[in-house]
Amino acid sequence: MNHHHSPVARKTTQLRPKDVTTLPDYALKIDACPPLVDPRAIRSCLALMDQAAVNGGSACHWGGPSALAELLSALYANVYQLKTTSGNWDEQLNLVNDIGHAHNAFYALYALYKLISYQELNGFRSMNSKLTGHGEGHLFPEGVLLSNGPLGSTIPQAQGLALGDKLNKNLRKTLCFVSDGAMMEGEVKEALAAIPGMFSKNILNPFILVISDNNTKLSGRIEKDSFSMQPTFDSLSPLGWETIKLDGHNLAACSQLFQELLSRPLESFKKPIAIIAKTIKGYGIKSTAESSSGGHGYPLKAYDENLLSFLKELWQGAEVPAFFQTWAQELIKKPATDSASKSASANPTPTDKVQAGFGKAAVASKQKGIPVLSVTSDLPGSTGIAPFIKSFPEASFDVGIAESNMVSVATGLSKVGFVPIVDTFAAFGVTKGNLPLIMSSLSNAPIIALYTHTGFQDAADGASHQSLTYASALGSIPGVDLVAPATSKEAEELLTLAIERQNQSWEKNISCPSTIFFAGRENFPVEVTYTATSPSRAWGLPRTLIQGNGPTVLISYGPLVHECLKAAEVLKNATVINHLFLNHFDASFYVDFFKSSHSQGQKKWNIIFVEDHQKIGGVGSWFFSKLWETLSNASDVHTTIHQVAHLAVQGEFGQSAYTAQELYAHHGLNAQAIVKQAKQMLT
């Protein structure tokens, strides 16, 4: 019996010009190639859309997308020549991008083909735009076939597309872009073996992998920081791939190759194809092309007048088109600064990233003689551990873009007496590092992890980088403590304690849990002033920041502690508690709190727990369960919980925004929403 489904059409067709004769803006004609978009126009659009986002307060990517300009110009010129009975090119090709940080190059192509407007590029990474920091199919299905962001995740999904097309008898090829850095990920290596293996069994449609090989990752050159990728490229042929080397900046060569592969009949593919395209990250601007990171981030500041010379360099001596010059002039006009902003900037509260405290604690602990090691996965400059790596390069190891391997390596180091610290963004650490962390606990080999950019703190990068399940993903693993400091001073203090605790456990031969730290991305006050009695600094205890004399209690952790403090200023008499040890509930602390407050006349409470985490499985859900259990069994606590509220994310993905504040407001997690909730409970 044949259990295969009948061929089905895609629910959402991908963007396409009205017909194959449609010319893009700034078209070039080279030899026998179809009309091509001038790569300088693509890079100009990249610079201008990045500048607009930076003006709004966002960070942006430049180096990765600039490396793809010639490849994308050549590919789309040939893709849009594909003819089918319905006129949908996507009936012949699945076009997938795994290089999420380069997806704005695809947006630029869409504008140049008049499929979206240039004004839409001006909204890149903003709250109301479908042009998110990385490609998100749930918001822009006609422009993003498979969502991307975490490097490597899209390639095995593309493998599934090729398998599904074979089962459905669709006459369609799959083409997937990938960066050389992503080739370090475990799930990519699995797919690199499985795709030719399945193709050899005739159960996969033709698969074309385009590798952007520029020897560069976010923090620097791959070969220098980690190890050479050449053996990986050399292994493709023995695995069963047909490999093709390509100059990724030779526009004619790129077009000719794509033209040949896209027109080739399906039955003529004897192996899957791997195109190793040599590219230069940051291409088009000398300073970014030569920098160690390839200009990973867009290099200009808000309203930067250097934008004009930036465009001039991109056009290599030719006149910059008037359209781009006018657009640039609009982007460098600085808005008027109001008097309130000037007053606020005159007496600023000292701020810093929370993770700045991590580097200080790690360096100081190493200087004390504790055997601290850093095992990183490409992001030390973002997670706070970079000062340690700079001070102790001999004690620091970059395993490449390989979070699962990072946690597992640290487990082995712990087992032989070291205190290993791993680091990455929370979105990657809690997912790709989840099973290795379980095995770390099972092996009684604790590690310390610094997982940053939690919740909505990585606002501009979009949903794929916004970890909204970080506590639920790790909090129930036995032998794991979750800690979310609210300030850099707190981060320094707590990481110092965690390092000492783990080192002493080794010296005394006693068990010790792993400690996972969560921190945001944006700047916060360096420390919090306690208006309550100086809180206990004991490990595992919450900290009362403000002891109010009213019925409202605001409880949070990490970045949203500061929103609670702002709300308390408005509410005047609210209590604020920092529940910084996420999966610890100290019953005695809360029993003592309610007994003390009861003795002072407060007998009814309205408790609001706030977190930028999914409500289901969030810390607040677990907290209220434990609170009810504690109070129902405490016969000497004569108090009443009048009302409770759990402000959290209501089962939605995030989206790009210039700042986390915009997302807090959208999801009802900012100070104003907390005040509103508190006042409703008081009426």
pLDDT tens readout for residues 44-97: 999 999 999 999 999 999 999 999 999 999 999 999 988 766 678 999 999 999
**How many of the other CB atoms lie within 10 Å of CB of 437?**
27
Helix 69-79, helix 39-55: angle, nearest 10: 110
| Angle (nearest 5°) at CA 591 between 585 and 595 | 155
471/518 Cα distance (integer angstroms): 9
Confidence band for 12, pLDDT divided at 50, 70 and 90:
low
Instruction: Give this prediction's pTM.
Output: 0.95
Q: For residue range 199-222, what is the model confidence (pLDDT) as tens digits?
A: 999 999 999 999 999 999 888 899
80/553 Cα distance (integer angstroms): 59
- What letter represents residue 239's amino acid? L
348/342 Cα distance (integer angstroms): 10
Confidence band for 506, pLDDT divided at 50, 70 and 90:
confident
Looking only at the bridges linking them, the beta strands covering 514-518 and 480-483 are parallel
Q: For residue range 352-379, what is the model confidence (pLDDT) as tens digits?
A: 999 999 999 999 999 999 999 999 999 9
Structure tokens at 18: 């009205």
Structure tokens at 64: 């990765």
| Length of the chain measured in residues | 683
Q: What is the pLDDT of residue 637?
A: 64
Q: What is the pLDDT of residue 346?
A: 57
Q: What is the pLDDT of residue 10?
A: 53
pLDDT, mean of residues 248-258: 97
154/143 Cα distance (integer angstroms): 15
